[in-house]
Copies of this chain bind each other. A is one copy, B any other.
């Protein structure tokens, strides 16, 4: 494995110049740079990341911290990883990954504090995940995905849950539905709370009363959605707003099990617009987060932050995208 020294020697320049020539930024005579690059190429030279990192204080690697659940129970994690990987490699950054279970784990702290990453994308959907705090306190430039209300000092990036949820509920109202129920995600999650709030708001604005039994808390899974829908069915709703697509899938199942049809008897809307929503039967009306965009923006922001850690925290809200498909229709005329 050739070192920079050898490249320098064979190019007839000093190590300093060789470094400058290869790094690209500083002033080096064009001819020199070309010569050095040629030598480096012919030697198959690759800079040693550790040495570079030690000398420069930058590792060229960013990290993603993701609750395990978001990867295993949900397409979200995979999509996010996909998006971040693309965005990072576009900027020539490496990507490290930490899946966090409930415990913060000494691991988490230790790894972070070693300068192994220049910055962190933290997906923190749960209000009270204990590992979030130590990470944010670690002094590493971080971008938080999803809102974490207790930390106004941190950079946020999130999709407009409230406006997004309003879109789908308003869509139901505009179709003429009056008896609209909702299945929420776990209410210790910010997004679940916000989506519920949007539901309440829209209902109230349209003079539709919401009683407690019209709200069924669940867990963002198909099975949970099925069970929740079963609880809701006796109310004879004509439409359901599900806190995510997964639960909408389960709810659809429950409706069919009851001998009813979607959307003839009951209209159903979800949230997320993950790939499955499109191929579902019937294709699901839902409102989506553009995760590729989210990832891109997260990395962009992080890069800025790494360049200048003193940047004031911002709370960036991305618009949600609404897709009307075939799971919604007018309420039965009866």
Contacts and interface: CB of A to CB of B under 8 A. Distances in A.
A218 to B, nearest CB: 15
Contacts of A94: 96, 111, 116
Contacts of A54: 48, 50-51, 54
Interface residues of A, number: 45
Interface in A48-69: 48-54, 59, 61, 68
Given A71-B78, A114-B48, A97 B99 contact: no
Interface string A103-120: 001010111011110000
A267 interface: no
Nearest to A92: B107
8 contacts: A44-B113, A50-B53, A50-B54, A51-B54, A81-B99, A92-B107, A97-B97, A253-B281
A306 B141 CA distance: 32
B59 A86 contact: no
Stoichiometry, as copies per complex, reads 2
Contacts of A44: 113
Nearest to A226: B279
Nearest to A249: B279
A115 B49 contact: yes
Nearest to A74: B78
A46 interface: yes
Contacts of A82: 68, 71-72, 99
